[in-house]
Structure 1
Amino acid sequence: MRSLCLRCLRPQSTCYCARVPQVDSRTRVVFLQHPRERRVAIGTARMAHLSLLNSELHVGVDFSGHARLEALAAHPERVAVLFPGEEAIPLEEARLNPPETLIVVDGTWPLARKLVKTNPLLAGLPRIGFVPRRPSNYRIRAEPAEHCVSTIEAVVEVLGALEGHQERFDTLLNPFEFMVDTQLDRQESRTEPPRRRIFKSAWQPPLELRTIAENFEHLVLLYAEANAHPAEQALPSELVHLVAMRPATGERFQAVLAPRQPLARSTCLHVELPEETLRAGEPLESGLARFQAFVRPGDKLAVWTTFALELLRRDGFPVPEALNVRLACARALKSKPGGVEHGAELLGSRLPEQWAPGRAGRRIVALESVVRALDERGRATEPPSRQRMAS
């Protein structure tokens, strides 16, 4: 019988404890691990927990009544869950207001989804999604998609982005790389068949692209502009230009809304509309009423950033479910797309003719171009590399 290291729970011959760094972080990392994952010898949540001084590890499925989780959920403005989803904000936005505590769900994707679904407290917390800088090095375990990475790789990526000093957090990967290399060496040298076989499912596009394709008939693309004052003036941003369109039918919506506050000096420059056009805009109430009539039951808004949604919510508009197009674009490109116009350029998609004035007019057609390209990729039946070879 093989003797185990009681710290890393690996066989003594493959113990990685000597390579575990001790890294402090400003962010408190709370790992919620599915019980099945605890028994996986090549899991990485425990490894990350051992490396991060400011972390804790809890094992379970149903955390109802869990005092620690309830205490965290009581302050959603300070906490975020590292888990993908339609409402997940990209790292770029999370860096502007980084969470004090990051909850990391650990398990295979089906188990992790079950854990999140089982715990309503998690569903009510903000989520963070991200695109990895590089493909996963988890060569000893099958991942469901190209953009998926191990728990420790995800934590390294996110902490590095939230706190800076990426190279400091990269040291967490030392025991991970040792474990992967050691496991592969053992597999190559063994003569008996492996005890477990890994079955890979058929290829399919990334989840974010499939979601766009599956909901294409009900998508309403949205872009909004604001009258935004400098922070020191303590005036909230207000909606002044709203454009939307349905890519499935080509229906369009536009509303220029008269400012209710003094016009900021830079507003006309940023929104690319003359002052007289803004001041002659319709009242907020009538513009939102028209937009409410434009949106149908079952529709899903598709936005590049959540700013437009925040403006609508601030004015009391009942915002339906929304998709983050920038995150989907990043999944397709496997890199950060930047602004929506740059994303369209990187995807090589053709821009439709501009139909609305101002910056919003330019960006709504760029958003349409991106969504059409992602819809096509979301319906693909084979990887892009094979498609290129076939053509």
Structure 2
Amino acid sequence: MSLALPVQACAPHAVSRLRTERLARSAKPFMARGGIKGERCPGCRLVPSHCICALRPEVATPVGMCLLMADIEPLKPSNTGWLIADVVPDTFAFGWARTEVDPALLALLADPQWQPCVVFPGEFVAPERVVHAQPSLSNNWPTGQRPLFILLDATWPEARKMFRKSPYLNHLPVLSLKPEQVSRYQLRRSRRGDHLCTSEVASLCLELAGQAHAADTLQAYLDVYTHHYLQAKHQLPPDLQGPAHARWQALKGS
């Protein structure tokens, strides 16, 4: 049986606000490649008939996420940084530019309540900067600060450029993830199976920080979003009894 969820307004979060700012600077409308033309829900970017705002699952966690987003990433309906901001209350989002940096980003990195680290493959980083795991919060974060994971939200070529040309990140440790799973993300495809989408990377970071429930919630939310996105793309109703929603309901009931 296939039913649509009721449309529900969502308060704007950091990625939503960044999208609004980016649209205000645009000289012409942004048209998502391969997307459905017409109205989209401002809360979840899906067409209203496939809206998932009623499922928005904000989870209490001391972990913070900082998204450095390539120029048009906030505009793409397939961007999964938006889902991170839905789930993790302390999500910050900044547009990246080679020649300038948002003063608010520098203030965030200098805020003593946070211990920031950049999430990036260790093979491209000086070995002394690289850490492969973070202790869980339940085992006492070593500095007494809250972890702030900095994610470069971009295509892989863009992310490498952002990492090289962001000198304000050079003093920070780099968390190199070693994911065992192949990406389940279906909306955009990397040529390498070990390249995860931004939401999947954030889920792994949450897990490393001892936030298993938040990690599982974010992964299940990505699955639900992907299902609704693809069903809308093929002009099919969302299946609220299907595998994605079954996993979501099981998580909510656990």
TM-score range relative to shorter protein: 0.5 to 0.7
Following TM superposition, by how much is the alpha carbon of 1:149 offset from its aligned partner in structure 2, in angstroms?
0.9
- Residue of structure 1 in register with 2:208 after alignment: 161
Task: Tell whether 2:97 aligns with 1:51.
Answer: no
- Residue of structure 1 in register with 2:219 after alignment: 173
Q: 2: CA distance between counterparts of 1:112 and 1:82?
A: 11
Following TM superposition, by how much is the alpha carbon of 1:137 offset from its aligned partner in structure 2, in angstroms?
1.1
CA contact (8 A) 1:47 1:152 kept: yes
Q: CA-to-partner distance for each residue in 1:24-45, whole Å, 9 max, x for gaps?
A: 2212211111122122211100
Matches within 5 A, 1:282-293: none
Instruction: From the superposition, tell whether residues 175 and 16 of structure 1 become closer, same or farther in structure 2 (CA, over 3 Å).
Output: farther
Task: Tell whether 2:85 aligns with 1:31.
Answer: no
- Residue of structure 2 in register with 1:115 after alignment: 162
CA contact (8 A) 1:16 1:175 kept: no
Residue-pair matches, total:
189
Following TM superposition, by how much is the alpha carbon of 1:133 offset from its aligned partner in structure 2, in angstroms?
4.2
Q: 2:212 corresponds to which letter in structure 1?
A: Q
Q: 1: CA distance between counterparts of 2:230 and 2:46?
A: 15
- Runs of 4+ in structure 1 over 6 Å off: 93-96
Q: 2:88 corresponds to which letter in structure 1?
A: L
CA contact (8 A) 2:133 2:208 kept: yes
CA contact (8 A) 1:37 1:107 kept: yes
Q: 1:103 corresponds to which letter in structure 2?
A: I
Q: CA-to-partner distance for each residue in 1:113-148, whole Å, 9 max, x for gaps?
A: 222222111132111011224221102221231211
TM-score, normalised with respect to structure 1: 0.44
Q: 1:89 corresponds to which letter in structure 2?
A: V
Q: 2:38 corresponds to which letter in structure 1?
A: R
Q: Percent identity?
A: 23
Structure exhibiting the larger radius of gyration computed from Cα positions = 1
SS of 1:153 mapped into structure 2: helix
Q: 2: CA distance between counterparts of 1:65 and 1:6?
A: 27
- Residue of structure 2 in register with 1:83 after alignment: 120
CA contact (8 A) 1:72 1:79 kept: no
CA contact (8 A) 1:83 1:129 kept: yes
- Residue of structure 2 in register with 1:101 after alignment: 148
Please report the RMSD computed on the Cα atoms of aligned residues, expressed in angstroms: 2.7
- Residue of structure 1 in register with 2:20 after alignment: none
Q: 1:180 corresponds to which letter in structure 2?
A: T
- Residue of structure 2 in register with 1:354 after alignment: none
SS of 2:72 mapped into structure 1: helix
Q: 2: CA distance between counterparts of 1:160 and 1:75?
A: 24
Q: 1: CA distance between counterparts of 2:101 and 2:70?
A: 17
Following TM superposition, by how much is the alpha carbon of 1:153 offset from its aligned partner in structure 2, in angstroms?
1.0
SS of 1:78 mapped into structure 2: strand
CA contact (8 A) 2:64 2:88 kept: no
Q: Which runs of 5+ in 1 are unaligned?
A: 191-391
CA contact (8 A) 1:28 1:54 kept: yes
Matches within 5 A, 1:1-391: 2-62=38-98, 64-74=100-110, 78-85=115-122, 86=125, 87=127, 88-92=130-134, 97=142, 100-162=147-209, 164-186=210-232
CA contact (8 A) 2:116 2:172 kept: yes
Q: 1:130 corresponds to which letter in structure 2?
A: L
Instruction: From the superposition, tell whether residues 124 and 169 of structure 1 become closer, same or farther in structure 2 (CA, over 3 Å).
Output: same
TM-score, normalised with respect to structure 2: 0.65
CA contact (8 A) 1:20 1:174 kept: no
